Amino acid sequence: MQISNEIKKIEEYICENFEEWDLDDPVEEEYIDDYREIEGASEEEISAFEEKFGITLPEDVKELYRYKNGSKYLSILPCVIDERDMAFCLMSLQDVEHTKKYFQNRDALLTEFPKHFTSEDIEKMKDSRIKPYLFNKKWIPFAEYCDSCFLMLDFDPDKEGKEGQIICYIHDPDEVVYVAENLKDLIFSIIREIKA
């Protein structure tokens, strides 16, 4: 599967079905024009990004960034997460760096927020694939929805998780949920939804 080909199918779908996702018309708003002008990230940019965060991006993620370094206002990752429709925009590598300065820039366990999470909340959120953090330096946000929910690459998974798995930070009430084993699986599930 070529990531860029699959993303092209999603781009087309979003331009035709934006209302279903409660989005503005990408053609009318010229989001699609802005998006078409976005180029892919260079190998140098990808390497510098990996070096900065001390990670190796999974090949499918690199492939996506080689195709488009961000999607501005075009929601190219429309997902259904925990029965919620969320149409995510891909962040550029530069946006990710900027966001990491204030979000997921420290390690903090859920138990460090007793005002926000009762022990029942924490128990309910328990997932053997994700460590019980609210913030983790090894979580890399790469797509955002409504400036408050983020798809993240998890480079510090729990015992049953896999490095590079995709998790989602959902804001208000705050929680972190498992989404997919990798980017390819996430894109497959989006394509499946589209075809359904």
Model pLDDT for residues 76-111, shown as the tens digit of each residue: 999 999 889 999 999 999 999 999 999 999 999 999
Note whether 140 and 155 are within 8 A (CB): yes
Q: How far apart are CA 129 and CA 167, in angstroms?
A: 10
CA angle in degrees (0–180, nearest 5) for 137-89-135: 20
Give the chain's largest Cα–Cα span: 48
pLDDT at position 16 over 90: yes
pLDDT at 53: 97
- How many residues would you count in the chain? 196
Helix count (H) and strand count (E) of the chain?
7, 8
Question: CA-CA distance, 142 to 2, in Å (whole number)?
Answer: 19
Tokens of 62: 């690199």
pLDDT digit string (tens) for 119-157? 999 999 999 999 999 999 999 999 999 999 999 999 999
Residue 1's pLDDT band (boundaries 50, 70, 90)? confident
190 within 8 A of 8, measured Cβ to Cβ: no
Q: What is the pTM of this model?
A: 0.96
Give CA–CA dist 59/178, Å, rounded. 20
Question: DSSP H helical segments within 86-182, as ranges?
Answer: 93-100, 119-125
Residues 26-35: what's their mean pLDDT?
95
Q: Residue 82's pLDDT is what?
A: 85
